[in-house]
Amino acid sequence: MMNRRNGQQGKGQGPGGGPGQPPSGPPSGRQQERAGVEQGAGEPAGLAAELWRQNQDLAAGCLDHPFVQGIARGDLPRSKFIWYVGQDATYLESFARAYALAIAKAPDRETMVTFHRLLQGVLQELRLHHGYAARWGAVLHPEPSLATRAYTGFLLDVAWSRGVGAIAAAMTPCMRLYAFLGRSLLGRVAPGNPYREWVETYGSPDFAALAAQLEGVLNRWHGEAGGPAGVAPLYRTAMELERAFFDAAWHAG
């Protein structure tokens, strides 16, 4: 999963129809529970679970992708992984920028705190990339590839121009997909696999919990983005861009 570019998109309006307000007030605590906003839960719930179900074809395609399977076996050419790490570091910086914009647009303190926590998770994730740079000579923040530009451009365009419901819809697939990939591969990587740290990072309960927290935001605020019909295309586009990112990494290096 990774994060993207600088790209100056035009600034959009605040979330919702009014100055920073969604069309209707946020659900109560019990309503949030029914919508699947359980902090720390590791599985998708509510609308997020339905969107994930609708995109199982792309999720399975990413899991079966030769790049991901090479990580699982440990025989992925290191040159391909190093290329991926550099592009992913670029992507993650744009991902962090999108979170920062979401913090500024958050309609309430709870949502703001959740986005801040998620931003800290991205900065922690970048430490993994810096480790690969130190050990294997990966060049972080190279010239972005076409796949990277497409993904980061999409994220930042949504983050600048839309509210938190749309932002969450565009960002959730990256988090949920990587949690899925990590968990799926966790029991298959041998102790000597050079990519074991990557698998353990994304297969950890902590990472799954972060994915669920972002899904909670999506479940809570999708109404200000047009409801399920409004967020589904954003979710699907992000999943397609994830697969394209793996394609680019496989053909590089």
Task: Pick the closest to residue 76 from 220, 211, 193, 197 (CA basis).
Answer: 193
Task: Please check whether residue 10 lies inside any domain of the structure.
Answer: no
Domain containing residue 180: 38-251
pLDDT over 90 (residue 177): yes
pLDDT confidence band for 66 (50 / 70 / 90)? very high
Six-digit token pair at 26?
């946020």
Q: pLDDT by residue (tens digit) across 107-161?
A: 999 999 999 999 999 998 999 999 999 999 989 988 999 999 999 999 999 999 9
pLDDT over 90 (residue 5): no
Q: What burial class does residue 24 get, using C-beta atoms within 10 Å of its C-beta: 0-12 exposed, 13-18 middle, 19+ buried?
A: exposed
Task: Please check whether residue 204 lies inside any domain of the structure.
Answer: yes
Task: Please check whether residue 5 lies inside any domain of the structure.
Answer: no
pLDDT confidence band for 44 (50 / 70 / 90)? confident
Task: Please check whether residue 8 lies inside any domain of the structure.
Answer: no
- In the prediction, which pLDDT does 141 show? 85
Mean pLDDT of the chain: 86
Q: What's CA 136's distance to the chain center, in Å? A: 25
Task: Please check whether residue 164 lies inside any domain of the structure.
Answer: yes
pLDDT confidence band for 25 (50 / 70 / 90)? very low
pLDDT confidence band for 182 (50 / 70 / 90)? very high
What backbone torsions phi and psi does residue 115 show, to the nearest 5 degrees? -65, -35
The whole-angstrom separation of Cα 173 and Cα 211 is: 9
Q: pLDDT by residue (tens digit) across 47-63?
A: 999 999 999 999 999 99
Task: Please check whether residue 129 lies inside any domain of the structure.
Answer: yes
Q: pLDDT by residue (tens digit) across 198-226?
A: 999 999 999 999 999 999 999 999 999 99
Task: Please check whether residue 174 lies inside any domain of the structure.
Answer: yes
- In the prediction, which pLDDT does 34 show? 36
CATH number at residue 42: 1.20.910.10
Q: What's CA 38's distance to the chain center, in Å? A: 19
pLDDT over 60 (residue 243): yes
pLDDT over 60 (residue 78): yes
Distance set, CA 20 to CA 8, 16, 102, 104 (Å):
22, 6, 11, 9
Task: Please check whether residue 23 lies inside any domain of the structure.
Answer: no
Six-digit token pair at 5?
């570019």
Domain count of the fold of the chain: 1
Instruction: Please give the residue that has the higher pLDDT: either 35 or 125.
Output: 125
Catalytic residues: 174, 242
User: Are residues 214 and 171 in contact, defined by beta-carbon separation less than 8 angstroms?
Assistant: yes
User: Are residues 7 and 155 in contact, defined by beta-carbon separation less than 8 angstroms?
Assistant: no
